[in-house]
Amino acid sequence: MNEKDFFKDATKDMIVDLKEIDMNMTNDKNNDMSRNKSENRSRRSIYNKIAVIVIVCVISLSTIGAGASAIYHKWSDGTRDEFQVTGGDMEKYEQSGLAQFPGDESGVREVTQNGVTISVAQTIIDNYYAYVSFRIEGFDIKAGETPGFETHHCTLDGKEVSNLSSFYARNVLDENGQPVFRDDELVQNYVLEDGSMEYHILLDSEGKKGFLQGKKLAVEFGDLGVYDDYLDVKVDNDGTWRFEWELGGDSTSVTKETHTVLKDTGAVVTECEVSPISIRAVLDISGVKNMTSDEKYAVLSGVKLKDGTMLTDIVESGNENTNTSGEYELLFTTNRILDVSQVESLLFWKNAGEDEDGKDAQYTLNDFYEVPFN
């Protein structure tokens, strides 16, 4: 029950109680007229108290109706960690519609099968990508096991949609804060502190701006278990968990035309677009130098903000292709939520890589081609 419904029910109950009190007092009055004055005083006192409570409830309802945006949600652990979001920013992203919580909607219920409950925890959606987090409760795994669904399907308005998905995991760290490896594989923990797990899906618009928003997403999970040595799912919990709701999101974006030459390659950046969790760039490659098969025209790293902060290595999944006009187009999602009004430039690698010791190098602006965005 939400806050508004709670106050409505509470007010209704108090009105019913008031009627019962009035009726009882009337009956008592008929039985004993000698108590008339005392009962009148009692009745007035009770009416006054109830009136005060009802007024408080009405004020509370008005406050909730007018200031619903002041009620904020608990973000999923995985979403918060993935985008490195802090408390103050959470409120801003909820108000803009970028962050939404479909599980609060009456039609998007949690589903329980054989003791395992799955619910929609949260979404982050911009013009090109949708990040969807599900919460899973009642499923236990042993240390070292990797959970998985035998099947999962995603459709938008009944049509298959491109997506990537996985269980959210945190790296297990040693006493020095370094990741732990076992048999050359990174050791990860899928179980959160409260015993639940999270499953994340990244939906791809395939380069069509605004394609995801306003469409009905249907997600169906089938049979839950753990992966065996052959990377097949050994099913522990049979069942089907299905969800369907309309996607929202934040349509904010800024597009800038430019003519910036990436000198060593000869490619020219002609257009850039930044949305809260995606970056798009268009390049003219008609004048590029001869390149080997493993070379790329441009490698996007991140952005520089107006305050001078450089956010590098923030691009994640995405697409690179030659469009119908013969231009080279890049579109990637980011692992940070960007305030598009604060982006000053895009950063493309001159020489991507690591230092000689194999550790992450400390990069400066000299390591990048800077493409103006203001």
Identify whether residues 222 and 300 lie together within a single domain: no
Per DSSP, what are the bridge partners of residue 159? 156
Regarding whether 130 and 204 lie in a shared domain, the answer is: yes
Range of the domain at 295: 254-372
Nearest-5° angle of CA 115, CA 122, CA 244? 70
pLDDT at residue 348, rounded to an integer:
94
| Long-range residue pairs from 293-300, CB within 8 A, at least 24 positions apart, any chain | 296/320, 297/262, 297/265, 297/267, 297/328, 298/262, 298/265, 298/267, 298/269, 298/328, 298/330, 298/348, 298/369, 299/348, 299/349, 299/352, 300/330, 300/332, 300/346, 300/347, 300/348, 300/349
209/87 same-domain check: yes
- Domain count for the chain, please give it: 3
Nearest residue to 247 (alpha-carbon basis) of 60, 56, 108, 72: 108
296 close to 345: Cβ distance less than 8 angstroms: no
Evaluated on CA atoms 296, 300, 301, 306, the torsion sign reads: positive
- Tell me the per-residue pLDDT of 14-45, one tens digit each, with 9 for 90 and over: 444 434 434 444 444 444 444 444 444 444 44
Instruction: Based on the fold, state whether residues 107 and 156 are members of the same structural domain.
Output: yes
Query: Is residue 88 located within the same domain as residue 216?
Result: yes
* pLDDT value at residue 98: 96
Q: What is the pLDDT of residue 295?
A: 63
Q: What pLDDT sits at residue 329? A: 92
Task: Give the whole-angstrom CA distance, residue 251 versus residue 257.
Answer: 19
Is residue 100 within 8 Å of 212, Cβ to Cβ? no
Residues 65 and 84 occupy one common structural domain:
no
Domain co-membership, 234 together with 102: yes
**241 lies in the same domain as 104:** yes
Do 236 and 155 sit in the same domain of this protein? yes
pLDDT in tens, 244-288: 999 999 999 999 999 999 887 888 999 999 999 999 999 998 878
pLDDT at residue 362 in the model: 78
How many whole angstroms separate alpha carbon 38 and alpha carbon 20? Answer: 18
- In CATH, what number is assigned to the domain containing residue 109? 2.60.40
Domain boundary among the residues 183, 213, 246 is at 246
Instruction: Show the low-confidence residues of the chain (pLDDT under 70).
Output: 1-72, 106, 290-295, 352-361
Residue at token pair 């069942």: 239
Strand partners, 284: 268
Query: Does residue 87 share a domain with residue 48?
Result: no
97 lies in the same domain as 189: yes
Domain's final residue, options 48, 70, 92: 70
Last residue of a domain, one of 202, 230, 246: 246
pTM of the model: 0.77
Helix or strand run (H / E) with residue 152: strand 147-156
CA distance 334 to 303: 10
Q: Are 147 and 195 found together in one domain?
A: yes
